[in-house]
């Protein structure tokens, strides 16, 4: 039941930031992240714990496609054997820097598969120990299950 007026003006000093962002690398005071040409994380170094999070030879943020049940079934029937019927992506991947500021950095990954489009933003913040993945999917496939795999070397309940 009120209002406030705010003005925007240039800062008196340049803010300091730990962020470094390219299409292949994101880094802040908490993490160092390497990406491959598919936008998958090949290395995630936790600086606070001084350890690798991704197992050697594996990737995280790996997009996967699987056959979704038999031809006679509708969606939502996911069986324990679904991982035996994995498809590969058919299409291209474009990885670009969408933002590189003092507060947050964003790498945009756009992948296509036939008539479907997956657009993902990997967001890293200067002062927050978190990595966000904002994903938008325009899915046009039939009988295909889509999932994202994050293989990490973390033991937790």
The per-residue pLDDT for range 43-59, each reduced to its tens digit, is 999 999 999 999 999 99
CB atoms within 10 A of CB 56: 7
The per-residue pLDDT for range 14-27, each reduced to its tens digit, is 778 999 999 999 99
Q: What is the DSSP letter of 26?
A: E
- Residues 54, 101: Cα–Cα separation, whole Å: 26
pTM summary value: 0.84
Q: Is the dihedral of CA 111, 41, 103, 23 positive or negative?
A: negative
Arithmetic mean of pLDDT over the chain: 90
- Residues 154, 12: Cα–Cα separation, whole Å: 43
Looking up tokens 């999070």, which residue turns up?
Answer: 53
Out of 7-21, 84-98, 120-134, the most confident range is: 120-134
């Amino acid at each position: 039941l009120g209002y406030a007026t705010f003005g925007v003006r240039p800062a008196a000093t340049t803010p300091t930031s730990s962020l470094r962002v390219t299409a292949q690398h994101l880094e802040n005071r908490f993490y160092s992240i390497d990406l491959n040409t598919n936008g998958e994380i090949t290395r995630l170094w936790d600086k606070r714990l001084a350890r690798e999070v991704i197992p050697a030879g594996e990737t995280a943020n790996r997009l996967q496609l699987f056959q979704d049940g038999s031809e006679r079934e509708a969606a939502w029937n996911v069986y324990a054997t679904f991982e035996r019927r994995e498809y590969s992506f058919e299409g291209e991947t474009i990885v670009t820097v969408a933002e590189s500021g003092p507060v947050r950095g964003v790498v945009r990954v756009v992948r296509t598969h036939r008539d479907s489009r997956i657009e993902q933003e990997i967001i890293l913040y200067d002062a927050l120990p978190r990595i966000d993945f904002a994903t938008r999917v325009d899915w046009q496939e039939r009988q295909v299950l889509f999932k994202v795999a994050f293989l990490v070397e973390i033991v937790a309940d």
